[in-house]
Each structure stands twice: as C-alpha cells, then as structure tokens.
Structure 1
Amino acid sequence: MDLIIEGIAKAIALIVTLDPEVLNITWLSLKVSGCATLISLFLGISFGTMLALADFPGKRLLVSIVNTGMGLPPVVVGLFVTIFLWRNGPLGFLEILYTPGAMILAQAIIATPIVTGITVASIQNLPANLKLQILALGASRGQMVWMLIKEARLPLLAGVMAGFGGVISEVGASIMVGGNIKGYSRVLTTATVMEAGRGNFDVAIALSLILLLLCFAINYLLTRIQQRERPR
C-alpha cells in the first residue's frame, strides 16, 4: 500500500514540476501512437469499407483473417518487424530499426486489423437497401461510399478509440523495434517496464498513472464527440 501511495505522490510531483524527461516520454508516446492510429485509420477504413461492400469468393475467410488480426499479439508483430528491418532483412535499407519510425510501423500493423474489423462490422450493420437508395438519388459510387462512412461514423469512432487504446498501451513491439533508448525511443510503457525491473516501483507507478491519465483524456475527448453526434 505504501508503494502505491508513494507512486501517486511521485506522479503528482512529476506532473506539477513538469519534469522534462517525463514530458519528453509522454510526448513521444502520444506522437508515436497518434501517427500509428492515423495510418491505421486510413488503411483500416479504406480496406474495411471495400471488404464490407464487395462480394467475392473467399470473403468470409478474409473477414475471419481480419478478425483474427484484431487479437494479434504485439510481441509477434515486433518480432517480424524487427526481422524485416534488420540490416540483412528485406527492409534493412531503410535503416529505421530502433527508431520512433519503426515503432510507428509496428503499432500501425497492430492497430490496422482492429480498425478494419470494426469498419467491416459498422458498414455491414447499416440498412441493406441504403446503398441502393443513395445510388438511386444519382450519387456516384465514390459519393455513395463516403455517405455510408458518414452514416457509420459513430461506431467508427469506437474503432478509433479501440485502435489508439491498443497501441498506446502495448509494450512488446515497442521495446523490440524501438530499443527503449533514453531521450530517443523511450515511451511510457517501455519506461514503466524498465523502472519496475530496476525496483523503482514508485516511478513505475507514477508513469503508469500518467499513461492512464493520457488514455482517459484522449478517450474522453473522442467519447464527447461520439455522444454529441449520437441521434437523439
């Protein structure tokens, strides 16, 4: 119990004093996970919408693969991204291993199936004849797709929250591809693991609480947007 109290006190002190290292770690966490989420939104919503609207042999199998990917273990993603980015790997020429760029890549791979799966479910949950009604009004196929996405925007916001939550809290892939380098690729999750391993539980608890506050702030903002646009 004393450790928890000390951790809370340490967290308050780090926040109030605007500790430079903690601010840098927090900002990098937000930047890496934010960029990865944006990439996953572009890929996930695009592919998910196409998958939901298309009709082809093997569609159920592909949807099943996407749904399986929603539970993709981050450490597995980290392993394969590390292999691909290794100096002798297929993408070794990029020379981004142990950089924030590699972390963004790994987190985007983790978040994209989550966003894709939720997009497929959101679009398929719309009324079956809505697509035909939109086309009958003279809309082009591109306009029809955009209107369907707008109609599904509330569950898609849940996809944003799920995707962001899945990457901001992961640690395995970030350590493997980022290296947890101080002042360069250290984020809140990797710093927490490191401090706990050193026995600095008060600092680890403080970093954990800051991470929880960050997640709550982002999700609260997205929830406000979602609830404000909810039909009355």
Structure 2
Amino acid sequence: MPRVVPAVIRALDVLELFLDCPQLSARQVMERLDLPRTTVHELLVTLEARSYLISVPGQPVQYRLGMPLFQLGAAFAGRLDLVREAQGVARDVASKCDEAVHVAVLDGADVIYLVKFDSTHPVRMVSGVGLRLPAHCTAVGKVLLSALDQADLDAVLPKGDLPGMTPDSITDPDLLRAHLERVRTEGVAVDVGESDSAMRCVAAAIRDHSGAVIAAMSLSAPIIRWTAQVQVEWTGLVREGAASLSARMGYRAQPR
C-alpha cells in the first residue's frame, strides 16, 4: 500500500481542530494534538504561508481558517448530488431489511420521491420515483414538515381541513401541528396507514452541510410484516441511513 505522509496527516489534524473552535493559539494547538512546539510552529507557518490559516494579532497570536478552505468546501458542495449519494445509502439500508426504502423532498405541501429501492417480497409497496403525495399523509412528509418554522408551515398547508388518503390520515390542521411537535422531539415520523391502509412506514431527516433538513429517508413495509419488534429495528436502520446520507451531504453532527 502507498505510504501516508505523517507531515500531511499532522497538518490535517491541525485544520480539523478548527471545526470546533473558530480561533486557536499555537499553544492550544500544541496541547490538543500533543505535538512538540517546533513541529506546531512549522505546521502553522506553512499553513499560513498558503493562506489555509490566517493569523489574528493578539496576546498570544490566534489563528483562524483562511479563504482557500472555503473555496475547497464550496467546490465540494457544488459537486454533491443528493440523488447519486442517496442511491448508495438507500441500497445499503434496503439490503439489511429487504423492505422498500425511499428518499423524498418537500415541494410545497407535497413530497416527491427521488429514490426508491424495493423489497424482493411478492407483497410490497406500490410506489415509484417521481411519485407525488400529500406530505402530511406520509412519514417522509411529516419529517420534512416538522423542520419548517411556523410561518413556512402555515404557508404550505392548505386552509381548512387537509385532504386525506385513508381513514387514518390526519386531516385536522391542529392535530397535525401537535403531531409534528412530537416528530420534532422524537426525530422520526411514522405513517400508520395514513397514505395506504395496508402499509406502515418510518422516516428520518437528511441534513446538508449547514444543518438544514433537505430530504427524508423512509422504510416501508406491509402491515403483515410490521411488528413492534421490527419497528424498533427498522427505526434504527432509518436513523442510521439518514445519518449516513447526511454525512455524505456534508453534515457534521454536534456532539451531545
């Protein structure tokens, strides 16, 4: 295997410190990485010479990230493709449960499905890429609606009672708002026959580099295969899948 370059690894270690701190002194870098003073000095001087770090005069001198890192990040973000990245993650999730996995985005009061990987079971969900459904009737939609602030939610929801797809659909706007509060708290949404009486679904949010919710991932299965035990397991799979896709889209989860 090719040999990694220790000096480059140390330089990257220095830069990654700034993910959590906007400014650091040479002493702080030295203490956090447990490196000799001379090594840290050489790394900082080199990174500053290429403008990857900028020195902020003071006692002691502080350093912050420079413009080239923003340019690299912007170039990376511009090349991210949600559909392409989602296909790989959705395939992995589907392979672990052999059930349908979708990735969808919000479009007004509806959701549009961008990615689908189906199960191999003869009885499975009827859906497809490009399908549009009322957001409040689906697990992915409820996740996406829960990420909106009050003004945006009011703007997208129709006035008066909401259209239903099954007898279990939430059609009362006040009930929906209360339900969305629970979704925000729990971090997942469940569709209990609200879009299709024979199906159950659980979904979680996908975030971009800024932390904004840009899509949602769901796992769907017929009620005949949906038990309390598998719901716990599949909820975990969806959380993991959404987190993995969020990481691919540049999201960095904050430590608890």
TM-score band, normalised by shorter chain:
under 0.3
Greater RCO, CA 8 A, separation 6+: 1
Higher-Rg member (1/2) = 2
Q: Which has the higher strand share?
A: 2
User: TM-score when scaled to structure 1?
Assistant: 0.27
Q: Which has the higher helix share?
A: 1
